[in-house]
Structure 1
């Protein structure tokens, strides 16, 4: 392929990638999980076990519960892409339970800050460190009105 044709093809590919759908970029080859089962954990249930290969869809207001398994100490990042935004609500709360459910980390985002963070960064991201191997219940509760995609990154 002549150099000029190669440069034109590369420029076209770059242009196409710049126009990629934000939802597809967020999913990045992950598989959809309806998260509609009942995994027992922490005297309640999570709808699914989520790792680095899945994504979920959901709607606020409400609570999303799911399980993340770790092989030991890990950092669990929860990332959300907001497909729609409605009423801001008062609070969006993230909880990471340790395996065995003796302790948990909690982080809250107040009202409009959820939408402002999303608009500024293109995602909402919260991270917590867990210290024990096993099943960790993750709960996200919000009274905001929004449709979202959710994924986790376990490191």
Structure 2
């Protein structure tokens, strides 16, 4: 995965978060801080959660903006936050890996397919949750062509 889409600055390990809103704001904030999106995008991420949860199963959630948030995306990027203690995402779902996505145009489709490939392996999710460094997570995504 190209470095500008995912790099060490976009990854935070062993974060403690209370609740879904705080989790979405946190993962979205990384995208804002690193210049991928305008701060309005984070509100659109929260709006998306109200419409339908971005919980994907296997302790993974992939928060992203609504369809009308495209104009607040500066460039395609993803942020990854690990929450080993888990955060309640509602409906009895616990999230330990949060992957925030901002896609310019249709670029998010390619990004989503890489995330799907990595997260399809439960072993990879375990590796992300227990990772001691951002490099370990980058390596998992770089293995996917």
Interval of TM-score (by shorter of Structure 1 and Structure 2):
under 0.3
Greater relative CO, 1 or 2 (CA 8 Å, sep 6+): 1
- More helix, by proportion: 2
Larger Rg: 1
- More strand, by proportion: 1
